[in-house]
Structure 1
């Protein structure tokens, strides 16, 4: 794989700009994972600590760190699916930027899937698990975001993006509320996957898996 240096660029802003242009245009146109417990005693979080500082992180390092976490997630998901209760509706909730899609490692549209996460998602969706995506992206680009997710291989059972009323809401609170909504539809959230603490805090998931954000430097 070609190494791509990690550049701190405005990935989400660039995506939003490209998405708005798309909608407006004419038709046709080597770290060992560790497991810690969250505030909820029954919820474990699997995370990978980076071996280098954020300024030194390149694409291959990021992929290796992501793979380390997903190597823990896949056997858990496999076991949890195998042990599903009769009639149980299982779901996984995922963040988007630098979780399900590559955002800060060069910009393109559609954005590529984060392959280690896609592999786990594909196993889950092939075994009847619904995928819900919760993002802090604004609702104005929800349709192109959903297209992007489907284009790279994710089956989207639901996509939550921030409406006007959510723009000044605490991100962790907003994301927790969306998981509550998923549960209200009768789903058991067997896993919640993201790269920021705000993606994972607040409970309402049996287990959480944190991808690297290098001390908050990766959006």
Structure 2
């Protein structure tokens, strides 16, 4: 009888070890879902709050000035309503132009892919000087910084940078940042 018990104990231990080896780890907790379009727009309005007054005060100081906008989920509601504009940003861009400030776009898209997005921006109501994209092999961060530096070399002060991702703001080269929500860079 003890031999049977010993065999049973050994079998249970072997089965437990086998189960431990073949059991998959628990799936990580699901990421928090992105907010609704209504919540996102409220967050965008909050991020752009005061932007018109600031733009007016800065434009009054004069000089050759420009604002630089990101595209996806900044100028265009890519996640929530592509190809529609993000209205608070469109109003900001229009106001900048009314004040004599040039509007430029810096995007993660490659230079060779800009024709289509340029049409989307124009149809959405944006009037701008140019769209600057990345070169082959260039990081997003470096490409956007290169675009802002090119404006400086042209004698323009980048008075505002509007974007939603951390890569939009790295490297500086702007006077004021308006950072739209990205929800920890989950909204591309």
Counterpart selection for 2:36 from 58, 65, 68: 58
In structure 2, the CA distance between the partners of 1:56 and 1:218, relative to structure 1 (3 Å rule), is closer
Partner of 2:65: 90
Partner of 2:155: 186
User: How many pairs are equivalent?
Assistant: 158
TM-score by length of 2: 0.79
TM-score by length of 1: 0.68
Q: Give, in whole Å, the separation in 2 of the partners of 1:190 and 1:159.
A: 17
Question: Counting helix residues as a fraction of each chain, which structure ranks higher?
Answer: 2
Aligned-pair distance for 1:125?
0.8
Aligned-pair distance for 1:54?
4.8
Partner of 1:156: 128
Q: Give, in whole Å, the separation in 1 of the partners of 2:96 and 2:46.
A: 18
Aligned-pair distance for 1:146?
1.0
Question: What pairs up with 1:30-49 in 2 under 5 angstroms?
Answer: none
Higher relative contact order (CA 8 A, sep 6+): 1
Aligned-pair distance for 1:189?
0.7
Structure 1 segments unaligned to the other structure (5+ residues): 1-52
Counterpart selection for 2:87 from 94, 115, 118: 115
Counterpart selection for 1:195 from 139, 144, 164: 164
In structure 2, the CA distance between the partners of 1:128 and 1:173, relative to structure 1 (3 Å rule), is same
Counterpart selection for 1:124 from 79, 89, 96: 96
Runs of 4+ residues over 4 Å off in structure 1: none
| 8 Å Cα contact 2:132/2:147 also seen in 1 | yes
| 8 Å Cα contact 1:54/1:214 also seen in 2 | no
Q: Give, in whole Å, the separation in 1 of the partners of 2:67 and 2:87.
A: 17
| 8 Å Cα contact 2:166/2:185 also seen in 1 | no
Describe the SS at the equivalent of 1:178. Answer: helix
| 8 Å Cα contact 1:146/1:156 also seen in 2 | no
Partner of 1:24: none
Q: Give, in whole Å, the separation in 1 of the partners of 2:99 and 2:123.
A: 20
Deviations 1:78-109 (A, max 9, x none): 1111222xxx11100010000000101144xx
| 8 Å Cα contact 2:134/2:140 also seen in 1 | no
| 8 Å Cα contact 1:54/1:215 also seen in 2 | no
